[in-house]
Amino acid sequence: MSWYRNTVWFVKGLREYTRGGYESASKHFNPADVEVDVTGRSFLVTGANSGIGKATAKEIARRGGMVHLVCRNKERAEVAKEEIVRETSNQNIFLHIVDISNPKEIWKFAEKFQNEHKLNVLINNAGCMVNNRELTEDGLEKNFATNTLGTYIMTTALLPLLEKEADARVITVSSGGMLVQKLNISDLQSGNGPFDGTMVYAQNKRQQVVLTEQWAKAHRNIHFSVMHPGWADTPAVRSSMPDFYEKMKNSLRTDAQGADTILWLAVSAEATKLPSGLFFQDRQPVPTHLPLAWTCSPPEDEEKLMEVLEQFSQKFKSVS
């Protein structure tokens, strides 16, 4: 069935995920949804030094929000911060250097952050697509460490801070690629069989959808959402998917178009009128499975994913 899922997803992508798809969908947007003043609210954006992360941070800053940029590369992050401050005249932009593939670093950061700041909205945007199997210094497969475990630890570590605030939100940036994957808890670190970085990434993005659904059930006073930004022209796409980029570069969305739904989920009142735990594309909730794709997983697998990630999380917390 994988050929069917891949074909349906790609055809759907050509229609909906490109710049043309955004332009069509945006005709139905209400501009007033995001024309809001968020002064006094605190936002944390991971992977904020480039691409849709930076575009999101910039738009929140324009609206008066206090923005915490969590980035891996200090030099690039400082350039991004200067650009955001210069273009928005918002001085409340703070920089934190954290490698999201390093769970001990995330725990140390989160514990310090909780003692010094408040948090209204967490935006899990950082991600990677490594095309060859690569291990971190902790012996973790790098895509899993960044996209799944890093997202899990960052979110769970900051939940106590979010629980203190009214209208708290968590937004995770996933991908439509997850539609071709069924949750696989038997090989979370992709150690069995041939390694396909694109499919590993898609599996991680399926895991993020499951995480969001599970968190929404467990934390009723926080609004959780996960979204697909469409196919955007970002540095990550250019470096990780050069063939795809060359084929599609004239049809890709801009950073700002990719970031639009993240911004809408982060600041609009309309977003939280919808149930927590949904998957969004172009400001609308959309299905998490393709028709006839057989990608639904049993509840026990989804619960097992949470258990395994919690075990990993606590292991690294104890040594951080």
> What are the DSSP E strand ranges found in 38-196?
42-46, 66-71, 93-97, 121-124, 168-173
pLDDT of 48 above 80? yes
| CA separation for the pair 320, 317 (Å, rounded) | 5
| CA separation for the pair 294, 184 (Å, rounded) | 13
Q: What's the whole-model pTM score?
A: 0.95
pLDDT at 108: 97
pLDDT of 213 above 70? yes
pLDDT at 243: 79
pLDDT of 319 above 90? no
Confidence of residue 237 (pLDDT cuts 50, 70, 90): confident
Return the closest-CA partner of residue 175 out of 154, 152, 200: 200
Range in 20-29, 178-187, 236-245 with the lowest mean pLDDT: 236-245
| CA separation for the pair 36, 47 (Å, rounded) | 24
Confidence of residue 249 (pLDDT cuts 50, 70, 90): confident
Continuous segment of H or E residues that includes residue 281: strand 278-281
Cα dihedral across residues 72, 117, 94, 61: positive or negative = positive
Of the CA atoms within 13 Å of residue 14, those in its CB half-sphere come to 7
Question: Which strands form 42-46's sheet, in the order they lie side by side?
Answer: 93-97, 66-71, 42-46, 121-124, 168-173, 222-227, 278-281, 284-285
3-282+289-315 CATH pick, 1.20.1250.20, 3.40.50.720, 3.40.50.300, 3.20.20.70: 3.40.50.720
What is the amino acid identity at position 256? Answer: A
Continuous segment of H or E residues that includes residue 222: strand 222-227
User: Which positions are annotated as active-site residues?
Assistant: 201
What is the amino acid identity at position 15? Answer: R
DSSP three-state, residue 194: coil
Q: Which residues contact 186 (CB under 8 A, 6 or more apart)?
A: none
pLDDT at 4: 66
| CA separation for the pair 317, 104 (Å, rounded) | 6
